[in-house]
Amino acid sequence: MEELHEEISPLYIKAFNNGYLMEQYEPELLSILLTSENRKKHDYIKAMAAGRKQYEWEKAYHQIKNIDPSKDKDRGFDVEI
């Protein structure tokens, strides 16, 4: 049986991780890098954008998981089980 995935290059992984960490600790600097004219041309910048997206997704996921259902009544929602 053939492998369905391609091997990910170490450079892509490094760029992805750098994008993830920069979004966490230096989001303004990452925004500058990602809005540069060369963004679409360089695979390293694309990988950093993917790392940023992953961080944003995980942050939103954890925020959603931490919502207390009892607070829904305060917002005008009726929670019935």
pTM of the model: 0.70
Phi/psi of residue 37, nearest 5 degrees: -65, -25
Each domain of the chain, given as residue ranges in start order, spans 10-67
What span, in angstroms and rounded, lies between the C-alpha atoms of 29 and 21? 11
Condensed to tens digits (0 to 9), the pLDDT of residues 2-61 reads: 555 678 899 999 999 999 999 999 999 999 988 877 667 789 999 999 999 999 999 999
Contact 52, 22 (CB under 8 A): yes
